Amino acid sequence: MIIDAIELGSAMLHKIEPSAFRRMRWKDGGGETAEIAIGPPGSSVANFDWRISTARVSAAGPFSIFPGIDRSLIVLSGIGLELYVTEANTIRRVLLDTESDAFFFAGDAAVAASPIDHQPIVDFNVMTRRGRYTHTIQKMCITSPLTLTANRVALYGLSGTALCRVEQPHLQTMNLSPEQVVIIEPSDDQDLTKSTVSIEPSGQTLCRIIAVMLNQRSHANG
């Protein structure tokens, strides 16, 4: 359930509560995915252009292969995650924990994952279809106002609270708390207009977020 939505001319500002995430168990039983948002509307895991989700990884096993997809992953909780990534006939070992930056990799690559010390972890995932969308993802500590601009911007609360503000075509605001998601995107999925959102801390607790910038390629319809 989207708990709030404000139409901003050609854009829409959404807030999504964790209870609205679409939860799916993995076929191998090694984890669970909670889908936060997906585009275009009504897409499935087989044909999406972009997808944002979290996942609980409780056992070692391979990641699903997503041909033509670029992926990023951040560990949200737990000790950490050990990855073995096979690319161009080489195997790369990657260790991620809650202090690590986002790890970017191709969905085509064979990736084996194992929670460190067999302790379950929760991660945050972004996937975009190559040639249609690009994405950047960053953990941020918000100590003063800042702005982000993209075709779509998704903000995930980690700690503290933030005030999200859009000033065009008129001022609208929305609060972001831990585990909530605020998304600003065009009301028309084919609209390439970029939107700017301002973010500032709004409480006494240190404000930390994950910011995702999604940009649609101009030839995505061609």
Question: How does pLDDT run across 48-71, given as a tens digit for each residue?
Answer: 999 999 999 999 989 989 999 999
Mean pLDDT of 17-46: 86
Q: What is the pLDDT of residues 180-197, one digit of tens each?
A: 999 988 777 667 788 889
φ, ψ (nearest 5 deg) of residue 20:
-90, -10
Last residue of a domain, one of 75, 109, 129: 129
Same domain, 24 and 122: yes
pLDDT reading at 26 higher than 90 = no
How far apart CA 54 and CA 157 sit, in angstroms, is: 13
- 133-142 and 81-87 strand pairing: unpaired
Say whether pLDDT at 204 is over 70: yes
Average pLDDT score over residue span 117-127? 96
Residues 32 and 54 in one domain: yes
Statement to judge: residues 75 and 176 lie in one domain: no
Q: Is the pLDDT of residue 3 over 50?
A: no
Q: Within this chain, do residues 109 and 144 fall inside the same structural domain, yes or no? A: no
Tokens of 120: 């379950």
C-alpha 117/C-alpha 182 separation (Å) is 34
pLDDT over 70 at 137, yes or no = yes
Same-domain pairing of 144 and 125? no
Q: Tell me, yes or no, whether 180 and 109 share the same domain.
A: no
Domain that holds residue 7: 2-17+133-216
The amino acid occupying position 97 is D
Tell whether 222 is covered by a domain.
Answer: no
Q: What is the domain-level CATH number for residue 125?
A: 2.60.120.10
Let me know if residue 107 belongs to a domain.
Answer: yes
Q: How confident is the model at residue 29 (pLDDT cuts 50, 70, 90)?
A: low
Residues 97 and 28 in one domain: yes
Total number of domains constituting the chain: 2
Listed range (4-8, 97-101, 133-137, 138-142) with the worst mean pLDDT = 4-8
